Amino acid sequence: MLSALTQLLLCQLAGEVIARGIDLPVPGPVLGMLLLFLVLTLRGGPGHDLQTTSQTLLQHLSLLFVPAGTGIMVHLHRVADEWLALSISLLVSTLMTLLVTGLVMQLCAPRSTAPGENP
Amino acid sequence: MTPRINELWVYLSASPLLGLTITLLAYQGAFWIYRRSGNHPLANPVLIAVSVLVCFLLSTGTSYETYFAGAQFVHFLLGPATVALAIPLYTQLKRVKAMWLPVLVGLLVGSLSAALSAVAIGRLFGASLPSQLSLAPKSVTTPIAMGIAERIGGIPSLTAVLVIITGIIGAVAARYVFDAVRLHDPAIRGFAIGIASHGIGTARAFQVNEQSGAFAALAMGLNGALTALLVPLIARWIGLG
C-alpha cells in the first residue's frame, strides 16, 4: 500500500508541477492520471500493490466528496436567494446532458452489448 | 451542559479528530443504507452523508471551517484517487479503442450541452449574471470548475456547491433516464454519467459496474480538459466573460 500511495502522489506531484510550469488550465491530478496511464502503457499494466490499493481507493470514491459537499452549509442563504433558477437549471441541464450524450453515442456506436447490472 | 462536558466539547470542537471521525461515521452509515437498499440510486451515499453532517454541524453550532480542519484529510485523497483512475482506464483500453468515435462525438456534444444549457436555462429563469457564469462549469470536477468560474467572472465557491448538487442529480437520475430510452450499453451509460456528473457520477458508476466506472472516469477527465478550454472562449464570444 505504501509504495502504491507513493506512486500515486508522485504522479500527482509531477502533474501539478507541469500544470503550473506551463500554465495549463487542466488541474494537476488530471495530468497525473494521464502520466500514470502512460507509465502503465509502457510497463504493461499495474503491479499487484498498485492494483489493490487503487481498487480500495476507488471503491470509496464517494466518501472523498463528502467534505466538499458539506460546504453547502456555508452557501445555504446564497442558494436560497436564487433557488428556483438554479435548481431548474441544474436539474434540466443535467438530465439533458445525460440523455443527449447517451443517445448521440449510441447512434455512432459500433454495436450494443447489454451484460450485467447498470448504473 | 455541566462544566466538564462543556470543557470536553471545547476540546473536541477545536481538534481535527472530531471532523475526521464524524465524516467517516456519516459516510459508513450512509453506505450501509445504500447497500441495504440494494444500491438504490435515491439512497446516494454522498447525499445522505452530507445531509447528516450539515444537520449535525448546524445543530451543534460548529462552523464549516472547524469541521473542515479535520475533514481535509479525507478531502486531500481526491488528488491521488483521481490519479488512480488511470488503472481502470488502462484495464478497459481495448473497449475504449473500439469506442473512439462515439467517445469523441459524445465528449463534444455532451460537454457543450452541459455548459450551454445550464447557462441558458439559468438566464431564462432570471439567475443573476454571476450565477449564470458560476453555472457554466457545473458538470466538471470541482477543482477544474472553480478555476473556470474564477476565469470567467463567476463565484468559485458557489460553483463548488453547484458542482456537488449536479453530481448528486446525475448519480441519482442516470438509471431512470437511460432505462427510459432503453440505452443498455454499460460503456455508453458510464461515459454519459461521467460527462454530466463528474466524480460523484463516476463513484456511482464504479459501485455498479467496472466498465461503466472506467468510461465515466475517462469522460470526467476529458470533459474537465475540454470545458476548461471551451467555456472561457465561448464566454468571451457571447460577451459574458
Q: Between chains, do A73 and B212 touch, taking CB under 8 Å as contact? A: no
B199 chain-A contacts, CB cut-off 8 A? 61, 64-65
Nearest to B54 by CA among B28, B26, B77, B33: B26
Task: Enter the DSSP assignment of B128.
Answer: -
pLDDT of residue B240: 62
pLDDT of residue A112: 52
A60 chain-B contacts, CB cut-off 8 A? 27, 31
Range of weakest confidence among A15-29, B108-122, B192-206, B209-223: A15-29
Closest CB to A93 among B57, B118, B205: B118
Indicate if ipTM > 0.85: yes
If one compares B205 and B157, the residue with the highest pLDDT of the two is B205
- Residues B201-230: b if buried by 16+ CB within 10 A, e if exposed: bbbbbbbbbbbbbbbbbbbbbbbbbbbbeb
Closest CB to B161 among A32, A66, A71: A71
Q: What is the pLDDT of residues A63-117, one digit of tens each?
A: 999 998 898 898 888 788 899 999 999 999 999 999 999 999 999 987 655 556 6
Q: Between chains, do A65 and B207 touch, taking CB under 8 Å as contact? A: no
User: Rounded to an integer, what distance in angstroms lies between the CA atom of residue B153 and that of residue B142?
Assistant: 16
By CA distance, what is A112's nearest residue in B?
A: B185
φ, ψ dihedrals at B137, nearest 5°? -90, 25
pLDDT of residue A96: 98
- B87, B93, B162, B189: best to mutate for the A interface, most A CBs within 10 A: B87
User: Rounded to an integer, what distance in angstroms lies between the CA atom of residue B61 and that of residue A20?
Assistant: 38
Global pTM value: 0.86
To the nearest whole Å, the CA of A47 is away from the closest chain B CA by 10
Three cell numbers, residue A36:
500514470
Q: Between chains, do A75 and B157 touch, taking CB under 8 Å as contact? A: yes
Amino acid at B217: A
